[in-house]
Amino acid sequence: MHLTTRQLFISQVVLLAGSALPALAASENVSLAYIARLYSMGSSTSGKKVVMKNKWNTIEVETNSRRAWINGIMVWLHHPCRKSGSGWAIREVDFKKGIDPIMRAYAHVPTRTPRLVMLDPGHGGKDAGAVSPRKVYEKLAVLSIAKRVKAHLEAKQVTVQLTRSSDTFIPLRQRSEIAAKAGADLFVSIHADGADDSSANGVETFVMTAAGCDSSNHYGQGGDKSPGRGNQYDAANAVLGFSIQSNLIKTSKRSDRGLRRARFSVLKHAPCPGALVECGFLTNPEEEALMIDANYRETVARGISNGILGYITFVNRARK
């Protein structure tokens, strides 16, 4: 595989020099002051946000909220940022499985170059997925996008398989089994959203929720919070998910709903680092029109493939 850094280093995250992580206090809180020190960032407050910044990167954390932004891209935390002593703190799980993997990807990704990427166009056959008012079917739109992502990746000498390449029904559990049997190194499921509220819009990328924590999807919480197979790759999942979301925002210019967490079956049972991307809302008139447009599908496919290639670049850098 010949991948030039200039072509592939799309993510705006600039890697920090590889210094060992100072030991954390036993407390399960990590203060924002500690994080600012660790990344050599200055810290200030702007409205409800604590803004930490150095020459290359910016981390913004909204106080008493689960929302944070890294270089302008929204990242949902598992727990809200809370007051701690005279400052603010996030939970250790959010630092170790969210912020730090994104900031120092090279320290968190597996060092084996991904040889096979499994793309998973959502739904199919009797399962249409979301259906727009003008009868645009999610199952068909995402198949079209997945085939375009495949073409982009293959042009960069990345081997790609699809869980389905036609309009056929595949049960959810079978999708992760297909990836496992093929020996996939990355798994990316591609979907389009639907909501009762037609004003809902934008793109979002999900990765597996950390064990014991709450998800950040709009279907509510509840259910089994025990670890799944996909939790083995928590940190790498965050690297992949952030790379896809930031590249997709850059190409699509749609509103950023953030890197979120959910225990979707395909993420819970993923045999390798995985993410699930929602490319827009079929129930929103503007995005419905975009999903019909081959140019938008191509733009979305370029964003997703750039995100995957960005992850591969991090792996190749981690090996050096």
Three-state DSSP class for 191? strand
Name the residue nearer to Zn ion (CB basis): 129 or 241: 129
By C-beta, is 148 or 191 nearer to Zn ion? 191
* Residue 274 lies near Zn ion (rule: CB under 5 A): no
Which of 191, 254, 261, 263 binds Zn ion (CB under 5 A)? It is 191
Return d(Cα 28, Cα 64) in angstroms, integer: 17
Q: What is the smallest separation between the CB atom of 129 and Zn ion, expressed in angstroms?
A: 4
Please tell me the count of residues contacting Zn ion according to CB under 5 A. Answer: 3
**Cβ atoms of 168 and 256 closer than 8 Å:** no
Q: Rounded to whole angstroms, how far apart are CA atoms 136 and 285?
A: 11
- Kindly state whether residue 175 participates in binding Zn ion, applying the rule CB under 5 A: no
Minimum CB–partner distance for residue 132 and Zn ion (Å): 13
The minimum distance between CB 141 and Zn ion, in angstroms, equals 10
Rank residues 43 and 198 by Cβ distance to Zn ion and give the closer one: 198
Output the smallest distance, CB 120 to Zn ion, in A.
Answer: 10
CA angle 193, 195, 197 (to 5 degrees): 140
Backbone angles phi, psi at 257, to 5 degrees: -90, -5
Q: Rule CB under 5 A: choose which of 98, 101, 122, 230 binds Zn ion.
A: 122
Cβ 105 to Zn ion, closest distance in Å?
27
Q: Specify the residue, 70 or 259, whose C-beta has the smaller distance to Zn ion.
A: 259
Smallest distance from Zn ion to CB 194, Å: 8
* Residue 95 CB coordination number (10 Å): 24
CB nearer to Zn ion: pick between 104 and 191: 191
Give 59 or 266: the residue with its C-beta nearer to Zn ion: 266
User: Where is 7: in which H helix or E strand?
Assistant: helix 5-8
Tell me which H or E stretch contains 58: strand 58-62
Per the CB < 8 A criterion, the answer to whether 206 and 244 are in contact is no
Piece in contact with Zn ion (CB under 5 A), picked from 118-126, 209-217, 219-227, 228-236: 118-126
CB 140 within 8 A of CB 167: yes
Cα separation, 161 vs 297, whole angstroms: 19
Q: Based on CB atoms, which residue is closest to Zn ion, 11 or 284?
A: 284
123/142 Cα distance (integer angstroms): 9
Q: Where along the sequence are the contacts to Zn ion (CB under 5 A)?
A: 122, 129, 191
